[in-house]
Amino acid sequence: MATDTQDCIFCQIVAGKVPCFKIYEDERTLAFADINPVTEGHTLVIPKAHAENLLDITPGDLAAVHQTAQKIARAQLACLKATGVTVVQLSGEGANQVVMHYHVHLIPRDRTKDGLDKFEWESKPGNMRSIERIAGKIKDAL
């Protein structure tokens, strides 16, 4: 069932009612830092128009989100100590989706140093100053 966009935290971020560390935006998409980063530079890319998940996002927004994801991933690799990017998209409660507004996680990785499993990791509240600083670094690398 579609989330009421009034109650959707990511719609509120798009509307500027909830703050975020913005990295990039265009007509259709927004990229911002995850506040519980799995690794330094963990970024979320969302469509500005509310869609719950992969099943209901429009083809145009789906393409736009992934084009933005590619831009961000390139910037992450250019400015962070990462040698790869784990791209995660959870669709539906059964997949552990928590925020019911389509989003792609871009998690900068170096498997030789970050000690994470291939598909399992923990997100923890981050240090806001550090998240803001790293978000600025990725933004500058775009």
Instruction: Note the residues at the interface with ligand 5GP (CB under 6 A).
Output: 9, 18, 20, 32-36, 44, 90, 96-99, 123
Among residues 35 and 142, whose Cβ is nearest to ligand 5GP? 35
- Residue facing ligand 5GP at closest CB distance: 36
Residue 88's beta-bridge partner residues? 105
Cα–Cα dist 112/55, whole Å: 35
66 catalytic residue (yes or no) = no
Find which of Zn ion, ligand 5GP, none residue 73 binds, CB within 5 to 8 Å per kind: none
- Which one, 6 or 112, has the nearer CB to ligand 5GP? 6
Reference 45, options 29, 61, 63, 56; nearest CA is 29
Is 37 in contact with 129 (CB distance < 8 Å)? no
Residue 24 or 32 with smaller CB distance to ligand 5GP:
32
Which of 78, 94, 88 is CA-nearest to residue 118?
88
Q: Residue 70 in 3-state DSSP?
A: helix
Give the x/- contact pattern for Zn ion in 46-65, rule: CB under 5 A. ----x---------------
Among ligand 5GP, Zn ion, none, partner that 49 touches (CB below 5 to 8 angstroms by kind): none
Cα 2 to the center of its chain, rounded Å: 20
Q: Which residues are catalytic?
A: 103
